Amino acid sequence: MTHPSIPSLRYTVAPWQKKMVSMSALSSGRSRSKRTCRGSSPPQASSSGGESKGSGRIRQVNEEELEVEIVNREKPLIIDFFATWCGPCVMLQKELEQVAETLGDSVQILKIDCDENEGISSALQIQGLPTLIFVGMDADKPALRTEGLLPAQSIIDIIQNEM
């Protein structure tokens, strides 16, 4: 299964290790249901204790809603593929809240639970969590994919410099 709404992907495990991968290459491999958490050096811990929703700027969607959001996007998208049992995914939530606070309405942040949406997770071969996919406004420009925990400033830099 392919995902025609997401432009071809630039895939990166770390921001400094970039290579191009087409969407068909991502979906042609054997699908695996086993996913692992991939963390990098943890960003500075936030002192806030509770889990905030970033003033409503971060929204959890299912596979069908994601399709609609991608097709009808009016601003760059950050799509966070996560699992509730993944420690780095929980830490990334705080980083995404900082991104939402900093960039405001210039970007849309969506979250999709890989365990509840296995179809798209398998199609995109989401194996390391968290995985972020950055989809810009230019359909000719490939989407950017990262695996692992990124600090808020790195996410902001990707949006400002790559999208």
**Residue 64 CB neighbours (<10 A):** 11
Assess whether 114 carries a catalytic annotation: no
Active site residue 86: yes
- The SS3 of residue 63 is helix
Cα separation values, 138 from 21, 126, 146, 162, 163, Å:
17, 23, 19, 11, 8
The residue annotated as part of the active site, out of 6, 78, 83, 86, is 86
Sequence-distant (6+) residues with CB within 8 A of 116 are 62
Looking at 23, 83, 89, 132, which residue is catalytic? 89
Which residues are part of the catalytic machinery?
86, 89
